[in-house]
Structure 1
Amino acid sequence: MYAKPQCPPLVKIIVVVVIAIELALVGFLAFGRASAQDGGAPVESTTVDAGQQEPAQTQAPADTASDQAADEPAPEPVTLTVSFAGDCTLGVSAKSDPDVSFNARYEKEGEDVSYFLRNVADLFGADDLTVVNMEGALTDSSDSADKDYAFKGTPDYAKILGGSGVEAASLANDHARDYQEQGYNDTIETLDANGVSSFGDDRIAYRDVKGVKVALIGVCAIEGSAPESYAQQMTDNIAKAKAEGAQLVLVYANWGVEKDYTPQESDMLLARQAIDAGADLVVGSHPHVVQGWEVYNGRYIVYSLGNFCFGGNSNPKDKDCLIFQETFTVTGTEVAPATENDVKFIACSVSSSSKRNNYQPTPAEGEDAERILGKVQESTDKIAAMAADLPAA
């Protein structure tokens, strides 16, 4: 019989050991795979409140935003000079003397519209923006308001402003609707056709000046108006202008008492409201004479520039007036506080003749300029005394 071969004992032992080692290795690997599927080694846990993202999720966007901000160049400062002049009544009323009226002078000069602002055209041409208070209508309408003095001129008179460096005109005054809504709308249309932006009451004008968005806001705050109404409208307009991206906000106010060289307390409070709301300058007219100025929270308030190219009177007793200029420095949305080096008060007369009004405003010189500026300073001193007694905002 064939005998079955026998494995030596030592070989058996070696085989058993090898098999045992292999089984152990297979079991170990199987356990490792199971552990990996269950999440592996424990990690430190983080508790996140509801609505809060984990730090790892918020860190990356924050870094990205800061990187983008670092890549964007900081805005460069922009300087621009704005000139303001007072009441422009380009025309006549039914009570005007036809022989020496504004219209008579226009005809005498051969209908040369450049005559009227000839002596200030270079000054206005050298600035970046010129603003006036346009009192009266430029219209062919004959439907006059029922009032003692209703002023109007031919639509061609808009060329007086547009052709002499005036870029904007406030219509927030007591003569803008002297010829009803038709006259008011005609004035807007003819000014616009001649490159002059009009603004006032509920209408804001925006001008791009050297890349700066400038908002022009007009408010009429004279006797007979409801203080709460015009103040609210003004501050609402300032807020709206800011929301619409205005970088520089300028307010032109029609206020005060005629022929009074000192502003009313109500005017001063209204000016402060404008600046507290975000205005960078407040200028005014309506009294027909000059008044002083003050600085409030780093912003100038100039209370009355007086008349300017004024067809309302052929020979006003007080012919003194002002052109106010301010140079603003705008960096992004920030406007630098004004200093005395940023402003100019240019003494003028409504006429180039001392004998009568020839409707040609002219810068004053020498002793005459000193006299006018002295009058402005006297009013300014009174304003400072009044300011000390104003109620706190």
Structure 2
Amino acid sequence: MQITLITVAIFLGLLVGAAALTKVMNNRQAQNSEKTASQEQQEETTEPKKDDSSTDNTDDTSKDSQEETTTPEPTAEPVSITVSMVGDCTLGTDVNFDQSTSFDAFYQMKNDPGYFFRNVKDIFTADDLTVANMEGTLTTSNDRQQKTFAFKGDPSYTEILTRGGVEATNLANNHSHDYGDQSYEDTIQYLEAAGITTFGYDRTAVMDVKGIKVGLIGIYELKDGLGRQQQVIDTIQEVKDQGAQVIIVSFHWGTEKSNIPDDIQKTLAHLAVDQGADLVVGHHPHVLQGIEKYQGKNIVYSLGNFCFGGNKNPSDKDTMIFQQTFTVENGELVEDDVTNIIPCSLSSESGYNNYQPMVLEGSEKERVLQKIEEFSAALNQ
């Protein structure tokens, strides 16, 4: 009987233990189930499962829609720029001149930097780029070189150009170092500080004009003649490498007072065009020369003087503004022979130089136009 009771007790203990163990296992299973459900809910909330078939269909639909609504980009519209070129501008005087009739005297008397280009300002502000030959220095140096004529003006004279609508100047000429190398550096510094682009010798410039890159080159020929040929080749290639779409070469060359270009001028001009120049202009003779058409490009051999402080009363006051309009389409020059010759006088007074260029009208305009036509005819036979 005692053994039986012990056996029953053991059996009951095993049943209780098994029940307890079952309860513990069930609790753990329930907790794991809740945890798994919680994790799945969190995963679905933070990063929904991707339905590959649904995603592919959405992308295809979006792509098809985009292809249907996107139209080809239109061809770039042509862009045209008009460039005005003028000859020798000497903003200043020689200390050995009669100062009572000098450029400086008129500057002080008028007390207005806008006076000098007043009669042509509307032309220069209506175009897209005006380029002048800056023949002289803007400096405070007193180191005058030993030469017949040496010109300098006050650094404030840059305002004459900015007020007049001139944006760029060539410095490659025989008066750019009249007060030594420092005067040349001073001139560059003052002009550039005033927002006027400078170029010449080995210094080229590429200007952005209405999105068109215009390369500007200045060559001083008087000392070396045909020895400047390599410089012509190198500088044109330099602006090409910088992306120039229109290339203008400005030469200081020729014989003073001669209306006929010499063989050196012609050789260098033709070389420039052959190398890629779109327009060639010249200055130094102080008088007008003809315009040659070579390989479809214009060569204006001499523009004459313009706003010229180098002479109080030149015997030949005829000059011109040479304008050319260039059109670029899809990055390429497509039209470059739209020209406009504007006959001018370097003075608005006939009996002396008041250093104020003016546009000619009537019979005087026709006279200068006929002169240019005659000079040009001899070059285009």
Quickly name the TM-score band, shorter chain normalised.
0.7 to 0.9
Equivalent position SS for 2:251: strand
State the identity as a percent. Answer: 51
Residue in structure 1 matched with residue 133 of structure 2 by the alignment: 133
Q: Shift in Å at residue 336 of structure 1?
A: 2.5
Provide the C-alpha distance between the structure 2 equivalents of 1:269 and 1:227, rounded to a whole number of angstroms: 8
Aligned residues: 311
Q: Shift in Å at residue 95 of structure 1?
A: 2.6
Residue in structure 2 matched with residue 159 of structure 1 by the alignment: 159
Equivalent position SS for 2:147: coil
- 1:300-355 superposed Cα distances (whole Å, 9 cap, x missing partner): 1111110000000000000000100001011244223533xx10110000000001
- TM-score, length-normalised on structure 2? 0.79
Structure 2 residue 343 is the aligned partner of structure 1 residue 347:
yes
Provide the C-alpha distance between the structure 1 equivalents of 2:204 and 2:151, rounded to a whole number of angstroms: 24
Provide the C-alpha distance between the structure 2 equivalents of 1:367 and 1:72, rounded to a whole number of angstroms: 52
Extract unaligned runs of 5+ from structure 2: 1-70
Aligned partner of 2:378: which letter?
Answer: K
Larger Rg: 2
Residue in structure 2 matched with residue 330 of structure 1 by the alignment: 328
Provide the C-alpha distance between the structure 1 equivalents of 2:74 and 2:294, rounded to a whole number of angstroms: 32
- TM-score, length-normalised on structure 1? 0.77
The question of whether the paired residues in 1 share the 8 Å contact of 2:225 and 2:264 is answered with no
Aligned partner of 2:87: which letter?
Answer: G
Aligned partner of 1:384: which letter?
Answer: N
The question of whether the paired residues in 2 share the 8 Å contact of 1:281 and 1:299 is answered with yes
Q: Shift in Å at residue 207 of structure 1?
A: 1.0
Provide the C-alpha distance between the structure 2 equivalents of 1:77 and 1:144, rounded to a whole number of angstroms: 49
Equivalent position SS for 2:99: coil
Residue in structure 1 matched with residue 378 of structure 2 by the alignment: 382
Aligned partner of 1:109: which letter?
Answer: K
Provide the C-alpha distance between the structure 2 equivalents of 1:226 and 1:384, rounded to a whole number of angstroms: 23
- 1:37-82 superposed Cα distances (whole Å, 9 cap, x missing partner): xxxxxxxxxxxxxxxxxxxxxxxxxxxxxxxxx9665443210000
Structure 2 residue 224 is the aligned partner of structure 1 residue 225:
yes
The question of whether the paired residues in 2 share the 8 Å contact of 1:280 and 1:335 is answered with no
Residue in structure 1 matched with residue 280 of structure 2 by the alignment: 282
Provide the C-alpha distance between the structure 2 equivalents of 1:96 and 1:292, rounded to a whole number of angstroms: 31
Q: Which runs of 4+ in 1 moved over 6 A?
A: none
Residue in structure 1 matched with residue 294 of structure 2 by the alignment: 296
Extract unaligned runs of 5+ from structure 1: 1-69, 386-393
Aligned partner of 2:162: which letter?
Answer: G
The question of whether the paired residues in 2 share the 8 Å contact of 1:262 and 1:383 is answered with no
The question of whether the paired residues in 1 share the 8 Å contact of 2:217 and 2:249 is answered with yes
Residue in structure 1 matched with residue 15 of structure 2 by the alignment: none
Q: Shift in Å at residue 266 of structure 1?
A: 1.4
- 1:169-202 superposed Cα distances (whole Å, 9 cap, x missing partner): 0001111111111100110011111111010010
Provide the C-alpha distance between the structure 2 equivalents of 1:105 and 1:99, rounded to a whole number of angstroms: 9
Relative to its length, the structure with more helix (as a share) is 2
- 1:180-227 superposed Cα distances (whole Å, 9 cap, x missing partner): 1110011001111111101001001121100011111001112x3252
Provide the C-alpha distance between the structure 2 equivalents of 1:332 and 1:361, rounded to a whole number of angstroms: 38
- 1:137-190 superposed Cα distances (whole Å, 9 cap, x missing partner): 000001112111010000011110112110000001111111111100110011
Provide the C-alpha distance between the structure 1 equivalents of 2:257 and 2:244, rounded to a whole number of angstroms: 35
Provide the C-alpha distance between the structure 1 equivalents of 2:257 and 2:151, rounded to a whole number of angstroms: 19
The question of whether the paired residues in 1 share the 8 Å contact of 2:293 and 2:380 is answered with no
Aligned partner of 2:374: which letter?
Answer: E
The question of whether the paired residues in 2 share the 8 Å contact of 1:291 and 1:379 is answered with yes
Equivalent position SS for 2:379: helix
**Mapping of 1:114-263 within 5 angstroms?**
114-222=114-222, 224-228=223-227, 230-263=228-261
Equivalent position SS for 2:256: coil
Provide the C-alpha distance between the structure 2 equivalents of 1:306 and 1:200, rounded to a whole number of angstroms: 18
Aligned partner of 2:215: which letter?
Answer: A
Q: Shift in Å at residue 243 of structure 1?
A: 1.2
Name the CA shift for 1:350/1:127 in 2 (closer, same or farther; >3 Å). Answer: same
Equivalent position SS for 2:238: helix
Provide the C-alpha distance between the structure 2 equivalents of 1:337 and 1:286, rounded to a whole number of angstroms: 29
Aligned partner of 2:371: which letter?
Answer: K
Equivalent position SS for 2:84: strand
- Quote the RMSD (CA, aligned, Å): 1.4
Aligned partner of 2:226: which letter?
Answer: P
Aligned partner of 1:177: which letter?
Answer: H
Q: Shift in Å at residue 94 of structure 1?
A: 2.6
Residue in structure 2 matched with residue 320 of structure 1 by the alignment: 318
Provide the C-alpha distance between the structure 2 equivalents of 1:333 and 1:296, rounded to a whole number of angstroms: 23
Aligned partner of 1:325: which letter?
Answer: Q
